[in-house]
Amino acid sequence: MRIGELSKRTGVSPRSLRYYEEQGLLASSRSDTGQRHYSDAQVQRVSLIRQLFDAGMSSRVIATVLPCVDIPDDLDVAEETFTAMTRERDRIDADIAHLIETRAALDVLIGANSRHRAELSMDQVARSA
């Protein structure tokens, strides 16, 4: 299938599919005129790539993880993939901790602003009386 059909079947733009190829995440064959052609199996691969992107992984990390799908019986590949996934989970955990701290700081500011607004409101009521 050509890039337009793969795009329609996966909901991923042709531009993104070209990017996946540039990053080594997706492969195609080329016609004599240079058009990309994809196998039906690439539909499933694009779906997996989208899931990994949606999980917050970078193309670099995805490129490290995909060989585990391509070569499932290779222990070295499995070990490398495990290390990459563990490192990615640790990064996500750190991001979550930072977001929780940021939310707590914002809650303090919201509380201070709420008190200030209440004071301003009472002052305005007192001035109008």
- Report the alpha-carbon distance of residue 71 to residue 112 in Å, rounded: 56
Which pLDDT score is estimated for 40?
A: 93
Distance CA 20, CA 2 (A): 15
Q: Is pLDDT at 123 greater than 90 in this prediction?
A: no
Give the pLDDT score at 99: 97
Q: Could you tell me how many helices (H) and strands (E) the chain has, helices first? A: 5, 2
The tens digit of pLDDT for each residue in 68-99 reads 888 889 999 999 999 999 998 999 999 999 99
pLDDT tens digit sequence for 11-33:
999 999 999 999 999 999 999 99
Task: Tell me phi and psi for residue 27, to 5 degrees.
Answer: -125, 150
Residue 129 has pLDDT above 80, yes or no: no
Q: What is the DSSP letter of 71?
A: S
pLDDT-derived band of residue 56, with 50, 70 and 90 as boundaries?
confident
Q: What's the topology of domain 1-54?
A: Multidrug-efflux Transporter Regulator; Chain: A; Domain 2 (1.10.1660)
pLDDT for position 5: 96
Other beta carbons less than 10 A from residue 34's beta carbon: 6
How many Å apart are CA 28 and CA 22, to the nearest integer? 11
* Nearest alpha carbon to residue 70 among 50, 42, 96, 92: 42
pLDDT band (50, 70, 90) for residue 128: confident
User: Quick one: average pLDDT of 56-61?
Assistant: 90
CA dist., res. 44 & res. 76, Å (int): 24
- Span between the terminal Cα atoms of the chain, in Å: 77
What type of residue sits at position 127? R
The structural domains of the chain, with segments of one domain joined by +, span: 1-54, 74-129
Residue-wise pLDDT tens digits, 94-122: 999 999 999 999 999 999 999 999 999 99
Give, in order, the Cα–Cα distances in Å from 117 to each of 3, 40, 110, 124.
Answer: 56, 60, 10, 10
